[in-house]
Chain A
Amino acid sequence: MSDRKTNSIRLLALVPAVLTAGLISGFVIFNTFAEGLGYIPELSMYRLDFSALRDLFADDVFLKGLALSCRVALISTLLCSVFGVLLAYAVIRTGNRLLSFSTALPLILSYVVAGILVYNLFSDHGIIYHLLVLAGVKTEGLKVLFTESAAGVVILYCFKGTPFVAISVMPVLSRVMDRYTVAAANLGASKPRIYARIVFPLIRHSVAAAALVLFNYEMFTYESYFYLGSSTPVALGVYAYKSSRLSDLRSRAAGMTVNAVMILISLVTVVLYAIAVGREAKTDEG
């Protein structure tokens, strides 16, 4: 069978999945924008206008929530990227199976379970507080969770996100270390130079792709803030959740407008992700 024919069959096999995903996503996006603009026939709402969007961007609570979500997602993503690469490096260098298995463990846990774990460890009088007291440290309580800085949420994101980055980067990092570091060292390059000039440039697209996925998720999550965050400012995910859950069904347009804004931000990150993945593929070919 020719290569062309094989490729055609492969592409055909993808059609059902792509069509299903495309149709469902397309419908959801279309419906979200339509309802966000106020078109909800089941509630006898037929007028299309931008009033909900205007109200949203005039709402100080929403703007503060948007800023909080951006800040927390950005800090967490940066920390996860740094910790993730270091973790991947440690796993590759040591070849330790236990370490490799432990890396994947937080990924298996759901966000709710991981949230409970963080709560038990970091609550005012939680496990860490008791360990500090045992060690003779005098403290009234940890004061880490439910704060305006959302430190508890950042901890949860790091716990879940670091292994994700590590696992995403590991194959590329392993290949780069195998192929180039030994050769560069033989040519007399110092270790810092090898990592700064060879390793990092070759893995950066892979790190960027993983970071974008994380950022997109962390930007809009609801449960982390619900369990570990402060009630004000209201993070974007919580704001959307609350807006769409008001008992007055007619408030749904406002909730859908928040969702539409979230979809737009997601679409931007998807484009950036595609660019990062494309560049990663080019790096591989090179």
Chain B
Amino acid sequence: MTKSIKKALTSVLLFGLMALTLAGCGKKKETVTLYGWGGDDRVNAYISDVLAPYVLETTGVELVHVRMDAVDFLAKLADETKAKADSDMDLMWINGENFYSAYRNGLLYGPFTDKLQNLSGSVDESCALTDFGYSTDGYEAPWGKAQFVLFYDSAKVSAPPKNAEELKNFVKANPGSFTYPVASDFTASAFIRTLLYDLVGYETLNNLNNDYETVKKAIQPLTDYLNEIEPYLWKEGKTYPSSSTQLESLYSDGEILFSMDYSANKALSMVSSGLWPKTTKTLVFDKGTPFNTHFLAIAGISKHKEAAVKVINAALSPEMQIKKAGLSGWADLPVLDYAKLSDKDKAALNAALTPDKEFAPSILTYEELDSHKQPELKADLVDVIEQIWNDTVLNE
């Protein structure tokens, strides 16, 4: 009898242990997706190899990068919101007109930024407030900063242009050596705004009504300028590169002498990897270039909102921001507030931002960039300017 009781007890214990083990195995790690542009290997490597392991270690959340352009994942978000579908969308890497459109159409979750300890603890909170001229209202958290710059081959361009007038003179004197992509390209759109700041002025533009005819009249000096230089561009201006990637290829192949990007430190990685000439240098116009912040937002239909907040908080930590800023990696400008950092973090940030001596001439110092930054125009104004470029420059 005692033997059978023992046997029964042992069986119950074993069964209990097995059930506990199985229950443990069944407990799934929470997975959060990050939808974002995947066109740059350095960015992809940072998200997959640096941020994702850090998030897993510190929060227990598995982060998966879904590489997709913003307009595509916003269309997916709109469709899935409409269908009330079981969506896998959680985090999104957006800014500017994409945020403006998603927020206006009620596709985002928020406000949530008050739940981010690192935002108040180490981040420059002033960059969290507006995005391309519109209030974020706590519906997106700043992740990094970017500034538009131009690149040139200093072996072939002895006196780099410092304003629109000098660029025009250079282009006319060196036909075929310069071009820019179509305005729908993110980088080209920033180039057009750089010219606008010089030719029209930021103050005049920012308070402008976004009515097509009003904007067209206001930016007439720009469209006249672009039409004037058009015959001297690559391929006599009869065509424009379809993307900044194509522009980069033309620069790499030596067909043109200038390239451009919204990543201020890009030249360093391109030169160090041997893709661009060693003589490549970075320049900004005297009157400055557009500077903006890129953000992380949460889909309104996300099933992992709490976990998504944890991931954003981890992405804003000094450790992750400093690694993201590292010049050998993504080299994205951090959103950290230097004054809020510990001495250890300050030292780490300084080290991350110091380039190898060999490649240092290819980029500008933070002081130079900082003294030439101009805020972005309102998101809806950017759309109108791009449309006017299509109508008056491309299809004229």
Surface stretch bound by A, among B97-105, B283-291, B316-324: B97-105
When the two chains form the complex, which single residue of A43, A147, A226, A246 contacts B71, counting CB atoms closer than 8 Å? Answer: A246
A148 to B239, CA, bound (A): 8
B345 on interface, CB distance cutoff 8 Å: no
A188 on interface, CB distance cutoff 8 Å: no
Q: How far apart are B83's CB and chain A's nearest CB, in angstroms?
A: 8
Contact status of A231 and B394, CB under 8 A, knowing A146-B239, A245-B72, A247-B71: yes
Give the chain A neighbours of B395 by CB distance below 8 A. 60-61, 232
When the two chains form the complex, which single residue of B101, B242, B253 contacts A231, counting CB atoms closer than 8 Å? Answer: B242
Residue of A at shortest CB range from B98? A247
Which residues of A (123-159) have their CB < 8 Å from a CB of B? 123-125, 146-148
A245 to B71, CA, bound (A): 6
Which residues of A (232-280) have their CB < 8 Å from a CB of B? 232, 242, 244-249, 252
A146 to B255, CA, bound (A): 14
Contact status of A230 and B78, CB under 8 A, knowing A60-B395, A249-B101: no
Q: Is the CB of B239 within 8 A of A231?
A: yes
Q: Is the CB of B239 within 8 A of A247?
A: no
Q: Is the CB of B242 within 8 A of A42?
A: no
When the two chains form the complex, which single residue of B79, B239, B383 contacts A230, counting CB atoms closer than 8 Å? Answer: B239
Quick one: CB contact mask for A214-231 with B, threshold 8 Å, 1 for yes?
A: 000000000000110111
B235 on interface, CB distance cutoff 8 Å: yes
Give the chain B neighbours of A244 by CB distance below 8 A. 75
The number of A-B residue pairs with CB atoms under 8 Å apart is 66
Q: Is the CB of B79 within 8 A of A226?
A: no
Q: How far apart are B228's CB and chain A's nearest CB, in angstroms?
A: 18
A101 to B96, CA, bound (A): 51
A86 to B300, CA, bound (A): 58
Contact status of A147 and B238, CB under 8 A, knowing A43-B105, A232-B395, A247-B97: yes
Q: Could you tell me the dominant secondary structure of chain A's interface residues?
A: loop
B252 on interface, CB distance cutoff 8 Å: no
A41 on interface, CB distance cutoff 8 Å: yes
Residue of A at shortest CB range from B396? A232
Give the chain A neighbours of B83 by CB distance below 8 A. 42
Which residue, of B242, B383, B394, has the highest number of chain A Cβ atoms within 10 A? B242
A106 to B160, CA, bound (A): 45
Give the chain B neighbours of A148 by CB distance below 8 A. 238-239
Q: Is the CB of A248 within 8 A of B239?
A: no
When the two chains form the complex, which single residue of A44, A231, A247 contacts B240, counting CB atoms closer than 8 Å? Answer: A231
Give the chain B neighbours of A230 by CB distance below 8 A. 238-239
B146 on interface, CB distance cutoff 8 Å: no
A226 to B241, CA, bound (A): 9
Q: How far apart are B162's CB and chain A's nearest CB, in angstroms?
A: 28
Q: Is the CB of A232 within 8 A of B394?
A: yes
Which residues of B (357-396) have their CB < 8 Å from a CB of A? 379-380, 383, 390, 394-395
Chain B residues proximal to chain A, CB less than 8 Å: 69-72, 74-75, 78-79, 81-83, 96-98, 100-102, 105, 182, 184, 235, 238-242, 253, 255, 379-380, 383, 390, 394-395
Q: Return 18 A-B CB contacts under 8 Å, by A number.
A: A42-B105, A125-B253, A146-B235, A146-B239, A147-B238, A148-B238, A227-B242, A230-B238, A230-B239, A232-B238, A232-B394, A232-B395, A244-B75, A245-B69, A247-B98, A248-B97, A248-B101, A252-B75
Contacts A42-B78, A232-B238, A249-B102 aside, 18 further interface pairs with beta carbons under 8 A come to A42-B82, A42-B83, A60-B395, A61-B390, A61-B395, A148-B238, A148-B239, A226-B242, A227-B242, A231-B182, A231-B241, A231-B242, A231-B394, A232-B239, A232-B395, A247-B70, A249-B75, A249-B101
Closest 10 CB pairs of A and B: A42-B82, A230-B239, A247-B97, A231-B240, A245-B71, A146-B239, A231-B239, A42-B78, A247-B98, A231-B182
